[in-house]
């Protein structure tokens, strides 16, 4: 827990650790998440596997020089082979395998171009799944681009931003204070904001932004108004001080891609406007709020189930 943000740093749930294209078949990639070192690899059969990084034998990092062997990984130091479930399946110079030759394996999912890992204290199984993204599977929508930022903040701070209507005016230059309604349904949170925006040719356009969060790590945000844009907003704790914020955009395949692309660039610019605030603020457990800001407390109550 950091002194600046006294919240448990590593929530329970699904968190993005990579994009699918970062992991070609046979690739081995070292990861850092939840204050731990991990190794991610893609088996010859195409499955994503994630294990703790350090070999139980003599402690080599499997993500640095490890090689995929069928559905497992071979340690670079003495060649022990571990299955994707973390069991040692072969020691090249011994016939018996010590029962303790095991590595913790992590539940992983590959969804719509994203690689997600489940984090929970102990080894609790997932209590929910991230739903498929209909637009990513539809010819009516096309993938546009993705971005990532590493930020000195906490997952909850990045989510509070979505239900904080007043900052949209002060930080991002939105024309009017939007109305934001937030509702919670178990592990899912939904927020709907009505936003007045400057459109092309000096037109003022009323847009709607809807966020649907499935746990704290994964959410979708849909924009309508000047342009239709959908993006996945994924926030992952790296260690007690750092988070990764990732966005992946889809745009309607027909119609004006240009406006959608401009809005996607604007959303990225707005995240970059938020970063200096997030990196320097403290967390107020009891903030002094004004009218129209109760969504922040709704979000905090929802978040607390994962912390
Ligand atoms: S350290 Fe991994 S096989 Fe020896
Ligand atoms: Fe913001």
Q: What are the DSSP calls for 64-79, one per residue?
A: TT-EEETTEEE-TTT-
Q: Report ipTM (2 d.p.).
A: 0.97
What would you report as the CA-atom Rg of the chain, rounded to the nearest whole angstrom? 21
Do 165 and 288 form a contact (C-beta atoms < 8 A)? no
For the CA of 75, the closest atom of ligand 1 is 2
**Nearest CA among 76, 119, 104 for reference residue 217:** 119
Least confident range from 4-8, 19-23, 190-194, 290-294: namely: 290-294
Confirm if 144 and 136 have CB atoms less than 8 A apart. no
Ligand lying nearest the CA atom of residue 276: 2
35 pLDDT above the threshold of 90: yes
Model pLDDT, residue 235: 98
Q: Judge whether 129 and 109 are in contact, CB under 8 Å.
A: yes
Distance CA 212, CA 271 (A): 18
From ligand 2's centre to the CA of 161, what distance in Å? 5
Task: Name which residue leads in pLDDT, 173 or 61.
Answer: 61
Angle at 230 between CA 293 and CA 173, to 5 degrees: 45
What are the chain's domains? 13-119 (2.102.10.10), 134-304 (3.90.380.10)
The residue whose CA has the least distance to atom 1 of ligand 1 is 58
Asked if residue 78 has its Cβ within 6 Å of ligand 1, the reply is: yes
pLDDT digits 0-9 by tens, 92-111: 999 999 999 999 999 999 99
Q: Cα separation of 231 and 261, whole Å?
A: 12
CA of 144 to the centre of ligand 2 (A): 21
Q: pLDDT tens digits, residue range 162-212?
A: 999 999 889 988 878 888 999 999 999 999 999 887 777 888 888 899 999
The string of pLDDT tens digits covering residues 222-262 is 999 888 999 999 999 999 999 999 999 999 998 778 889 99
Q: What is the pLDDT of residues 75-88, one digit of tens each?
A: 999 999 999 999 99
Q: Please tell me the predicted confidence (pLDDT) of residue 162.
A: 95
Within the chain, residue ranges assigned H as helices are 155-160, 165-170, 257-280, 294-304
Give the whole-angstrom CA distance, residue 126 versus residue 187. 12
pLDDT-derived band at 121 (thresholds 50, 70, 90) equals confident
Note residues around ion ligand 2 (Cβ under 5 angstroms): 161, 274
Nearest-atom number in ligand 1 for the CA of 55 is 2
Query: At residue 135, does pLDDT exceed 80?
Result: yes
The ligand placed nearest to the CA atom of residue 195 is: 2
Within 10 angstroms of residue 62's Cβ, the number of other Cβ atoms is 27
Instruction: Calculate how far, in angstroms, residue 277's C-alpha sits from the geometric centre of ligand 2.
Output: 9
263-307 pLDDT, tens digit per residue, is 999 999 999 999 999 999 999 999 999 988 999 999 999 999 999
- What is the per-residue burial (b if ≥16 Cβ within 10 Å, else e) of 282-300? ebeeeeeeeeeeebbebbb
CA of 221 to the centre of ligand 2 (A): 13
Ligand 1, atom 3: closest residue by C-alpha: 78
Helix (H, G, I), strand (E, B), or coil: what is residue 55?
A: coil
State the burial class of residue 213 (Cβ atoms within 10 Å of its Cβ: 0-12, 13-18, 19+). buried
């Amino acid at each position: 827990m950091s002194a600046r943000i006294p919240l448990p740093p590593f929530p329970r749930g699904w968190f993005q650790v990579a994009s699918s294209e970062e992991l070609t078949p046979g690739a081995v990639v070292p990861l850092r998440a939840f204050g731990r070192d991990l190794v991610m690899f893609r088996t010859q059969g195409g499955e994503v596997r994630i294990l703790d990084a350090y070999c139980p034998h003599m402690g080599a990092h499997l993500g640095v020089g490890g090689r995929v062997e069928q559905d497992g990984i071979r340690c670079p130091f003495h060649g022990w082979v571990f299955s994707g479930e973390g069991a040692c399946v072969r020691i090249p110079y011994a016939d018996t395998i010590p029962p303790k030759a095991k590595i913790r394996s992590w539940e992983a999912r590959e969804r719509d171009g994203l690689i997600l890992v489940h984090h929970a204290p102990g080894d609790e199984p997932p209590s929910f799944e991230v739903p498929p993204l209909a637009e990513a599977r539809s010819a009516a929508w096309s993938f546009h681009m993705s971005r990532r930022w590493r930020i000195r903040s906490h997952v909850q701070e990045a989510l509070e931003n979505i239900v904080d209507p007043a900052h949209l005016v002060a930080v991002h230059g939105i024309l009017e204070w939007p109305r934001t309604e937030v509702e919670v349904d178990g592990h899912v949170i939904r927020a709907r904001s009505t936003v007045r925006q400057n459109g092309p040719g000096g037109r003022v356009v009323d847009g709607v932004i809807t966020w649907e969060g499935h746990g704290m790590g994964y959410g979708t945000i849909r924009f309508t108004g000047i342009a239709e844009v959908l993006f996945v907003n994924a926030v992952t704790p790296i260690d007690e001080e750092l988070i990764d914020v990732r966005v992946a955009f889809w745009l309607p395949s027909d119609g004006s891609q240009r406006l959608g692309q401009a809005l996607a660039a604007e959303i990225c610019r707005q995240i970059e406007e938020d970063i200096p605030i997030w990196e320097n603020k403290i967390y107020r457990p009891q903030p002094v709020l004004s009218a129209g800001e109760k969504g922040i407390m709704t979000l905090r109550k929802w978040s607390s189930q994962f912390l």
